[in-house]
A and B are shown apart, each in its own frame.
Chain A
Amino acid sequence: DAKTTQPDSMESTEGETVHLPCSHATISGNEYIYWYRQVPLQGPEYVTHGLQQNTTNSMAFLAIASDRKSSTLILPHVSLRDAAVYHCILRDNYGNEKITFGAGTKLTIKP
């Protein structure tokens, strides 16, 4: 069973701020929320991760709901280079090394 739910696709325009949602209603207390991005014919690339607090880095801002059942990856002022598939996954540290990726959200950016 998928542990995260994301929309199949989203579209935006250059310069806009994009909000990519992810639902993880059954998340447990020891699970971190990770986001990766993937462009065609390349492996996924780490974007950010968090446990409970919102986080920010040079690539994105991660907003985590107070109940941790959902999160939103926020990409400010997107460019054509931000077009990719964005994967939201959960990872715990209780011996579960089976990290599962779903199909993710395909983000299309219009000029």
Chain B
Amino acid sequence: EAAVTQSPRNKVTVTGGNVTLSCRQTNSHNYMYWYRQDTGHGLRLIHYSYGAGNLQIGDVPDGYKATRTTQEDFFLLLELASPSQTSLYFCASSVDRLSNERLFFGHGTKLSVL
């Protein structure tokens, strides 16, 4: 079973703070994704990547940067955190973009911006 590990599990910061969320997958998956989940909105795609050094814009990218440093590691950066970014963040990976390849999700990071 593919494993996706997120850290930290919980994070509290203040408005204007700098936050980095980490995601690692050890299954040589090409695609990695960052989602946020808020009540009533389901999961919304922030950024995704199909390999080291690649970055693609998702549906709700404003206020977020991301970087894929290696095949395994995908980071989400909030350089000036705002209360509206308080949310539950999930990282996911998949082997490829083919339609018959499923997503594997991490356990999530709960971020609170005060």
Interface residues, chain A, with chain B CB atoms under 8 Å away: 30-32, 34, 36, 41-46, 49, 51, 87, 91-93, 95, 97-104
Taking the nearest CB of chain B, how far is it from the CB of A100, in angstroms? 7
Taking the nearest CB of chain B, how far is it from the CB of A37, in angstroms? 11
Closest B residue, CB atoms, query A102: B42
Main secondary structure of the interface of A (DSSP, over half): loop
Q: Are A103 and B41 in contact (CB under 8 A)?
A: yes
State the CA gap A104–B43 with chains docked (Å): 10
Interface residues, chain B, with chain A CB atoms under 8 Å away: 4, 31, 33, 35, 40-45, 48, 50, 56, 58-59, 88, 90, 92, 97-100, 102-108, 110
With a cutoff of 8 Å between Cβ atoms, the chain B residues found around residue A103 in the complex are 40-42
State the CA gap A41–B4 with chains docked (Å): 15
State the CA gap A99–B105 with chains docked (Å): 13
Taking the nearest CB of chain A, how far is it from the CB of B105, in angstroms? 3
State the CA gap A34–B104 with chains docked (Å): 13
State the CA gap A101–B41 with chains docked (Å): 9
With a cutoff of 8 Å between Cβ atoms, the chain B residues found around residue A95 in the complex are 97
Taking the nearest CB of chain A, how far is it from the CB of B41, in angstroms? 7
Q: Are B102 and A100 in contact (CB under 8 A)?
A: no
With a cutoff of 8 Å between Cβ atoms, the chain A residues found around residue B99 in the complex are 30-32, 51, 91-93
With a cutoff of 8 Å between Cβ atoms, the chain A residues found around residue B35 in the complex are 101
Q: Are A93 and B97 in contact (CB under 8 A)?
A: yes
Q: Are B108 and A42 in contact (CB under 8 A)?
A: yes
24 chain-A/chain-B pairs, Cβ below 8 angstroms? A30-B99, A31-B99, A41-B108, A41-B110, A43-B4, A43-B90, A43-B108, A44-B92, A44-B105, A46-B102, A49-B102, A51-B100, A87-B42, A91-B99, A92-B99, A93-B97, A93-B99, A97-B50, A97-B97, A98-B45, A98-B48, A98-B59, A100-B42, A100-B43
